[in-house]
Amino acid sequence: MDRFSWQSARSPTEAATLGNTTVAEAMLADPALSAAADCVVLKAGGIDLLDLMKEGLLRPGRVVNLRGIPGLDSIAEDAGGLRIGALATLEQVATHPTLRQRYTALADAAESSASPQIRHVATLGGNLLQRPRCWYFRSAAHRCARKGGEYCFAFTGENRYHAVFGHDDCAIVHPSTSATALVAFGAHVELTNAQGSLRTVPLSDFMVGPAVDIMRETDLRSGEVLTAVVLPSMPASTRSAFLKQAEKPSFDWSIADVAVVLDRAADGRCQHASIVLGAAAPVPWRVPHAEAALVGQTIDATVAHAAGQAAIAGAAPLRHNAYKLPILATLVRRAVLQAAA
Ligand SMILES: Cc1cc2nc3c(=O)[nH]c(=O)nc-3n(C[C@H](O)[C@H](O)[C@H](O)COP(=O)(O)OP(=O)(O)OC[C@H]3O[C@@H](n4cnc5c(N)ncnc54)[C@H](O)[C@@H]3O)c2cc1C
Ligand code: SF4
């Protein structure tokens, strides 16, 4: 790892003033040029940031530590919903009593992410902003399209962990497990700039697919700090479930994951359904046909199976990843039944 200087920010506006680039922009800077050394990037838990630096993919001149900013790790009631500070750890999200009770799919998604040690350090904000796991992207020897090159190595190469939906020119899957559940709940992100102005964006819009911009995964702008994730108020009758399949369940990113959020009327019929697939596309992938298969129905094994099949309709698997489709369909079926139980 190259030498870098270190500074601790005391407030979001100070951090936004100090940070002069996003990591996505900094990774495009030629390390041979002095411009790369002028990059000042933000660090939360540092799990992904330091990985990129150790792998020689990112060479900032300065790292600004956010961990000392007071209050940015709190989880509090907000207009009937919940406001999660960006520095709340995955462990806090997994164990918070209100999240566990009212936003169960999110608590389960956080709990299923990484290992206990990592969850105690990794923050929710950093989790949403981590860069993709595509092995060509993570290899300094491959300058692929997402790093400013001309070519996606995954389409003709090894693509068993890649996308089955939405892979225009780049077949990454979004690496954040919590994002699957957050999008299913209709969460927003709150961003603060150096002037202290707030920008609030639905997480589903904040996540950017390759058709919009192949070189970044989110709409984070330089000079912005992610300060909070806001969950909307949900009806008391809302139930949710999250399920994940990974190579190593003890600590690993998903091969496939699913979040289901249901609301049923007094007669038991589903009146609202939100179903999102994770590790399936470059962004958390909502499946409206599967949701439509539930609305108006009394949920049973047949209805849940139909939702699972609808969820994979229109998928475009690559050479090595068609195996993901039956996994996704099964996870949807089981998660629907679990949420409805
Ligand atoms: C073995 C292993 C297994 C893992 N398994 C999973 C898994 O199953 N699911 C999963 O989702 N993740 C998994 N991860 C990834 C891990 O959860 C993320 O790397 C971690 O959550 C990143 O959070 P952080 O606080 O450490 O972010 P950092 O590494 O500090 O930052 C990540 C990025 O976000 C930016 N950033 C951070 N906070 C802010 C902010 N508030 N405002 C603006 N920019 C910010 C940084 O500049 C950087 O670009 C795994 C990691 C490992 C090592
Ligand atoms: S899938 Fe995306 S990140 Fe991976 S090699 Fe292709 S362009 Fe690069």
- What are the structural domains of the chain? 238-340 (3.30.390.50)
Spatial separation of the C-alpha atoms in residues 21 and 255, rounded to whole Å: 31
Ligand 2, atom 8, residue with closest C-alpha: 144
Q: Is the CB–ligand 2 distance for residue 24 below 6 Å? A: no
Average confidence score pLDDT of the chain:
96
pLDDT digits (tens, 9 = 90+) for 178-190: 999 999 999 999 9
Span from the CA of 241 to the centroid of ligand 2 (angstroms) = 30
Alpha carbon 78 to chain centroid, angstroms: 22
**Ligand 2 atom with the shortest distance to the CA of 171:** 1
Span from the CA of 129 to the centroid of ligand 2 (angstroms) = 17
State which amino acid sits at residue 162.
H
Spatial separation of the C-alpha atoms in residues 59 and 39, rounded to whole Å: 8
**Ligand 2 atom with the shortest distance to the CA of 153:** 5
Whether the pLDDT of residue 194 is over 80: the answer is: yes
The residue to which tokens 């690993």 are assigned: 252
Span from the CA of 15 to the centroid of ligand 1 (angstroms) = 18
Mutation pick for ligand 2 pocket among 153, 162, 169, 213 (CB with most ligand atoms within 8 Å): 153
Ligand 1, atom 47, residue with closest C-alpha: 42
For residue 251, what pLDDT is reported? 86
Span from the CA of 80 to the centroid of ligand 1 (angstroms) = 28
pLDDT digits (tens, 9 = 90+) for 251-299: 899 999 999 999 999 999 999 999 999 999 999 999 999 999 999 999 9
User: Residue range 65-82: average pLDDT?
Assistant: 96
For residue 1, what pLDDT is reported? 80
Span from the CA of 46 to the centroid of ligand 1 (angstroms) = 7
- Return the exposure string of 122-131: e unless at least 16 CB atoms fall within 10 Å of the residue's CB, then b: bbbbbbbbbb
SS3 annotation, 172-220: CCCCCHHHHHHHHCCCEEEEEECCCCEEEEEHHHHECCCCCCCCCCECC
For residue 2, what pLDDT is reported? 85
Q: What percent of the chain has a predicted confidence (pLDDT) above 70?
A: 98
Q: Is the CB–ligand 2 distance for residue 279 below 6 Å? A: no
The residues, ordered by sequence, that sit 6+ positions from 223 with a Cβ below 8 Å of its Cβ are 16, 17, 19, 20, 193, 194
Span from the CA of 261 to the centroid of ligand 1 (angstroms) = 25
Q: Is the CB–ligand 1 distance for residue 49 below 6 Å? A: yes
Question: Which value, to the nearest 10 degrees, does the dihedral of the CA atoms of residues 291, 297, 298, 302 take?
Answer: -70
pTM: 0.97
pLDDT digits (tens, 9 = 90+) for 93-127: 999 999 999 999 999 999 999 999 999 999 999 99
Ligand 1, atom 2, residue with closest C-alpha: 114
**Ligand 1 atom with the shortest distance to the CA of 254:** 8
pLDDT-based confidence at residue 32 (cuts at 50, 70, 90): low
Mutation pick for ligand 1 pocket among 64, 118, 229 (CB with most ligand atoms within 8 Å): 118
Lowest mean pLDDT: which of 30-44, 207-221, 241-255, 309-323? 30-44
pLDDT digits (tens, 9 = 90+) for 121-151: 999 999 999 999 999 999 999 999 999 999 9
**Ligand 1 atom with the shortest distance to the CA of 24:** 49
**Ligand 1 atom with the shortest distance to the CA of 129:** 34
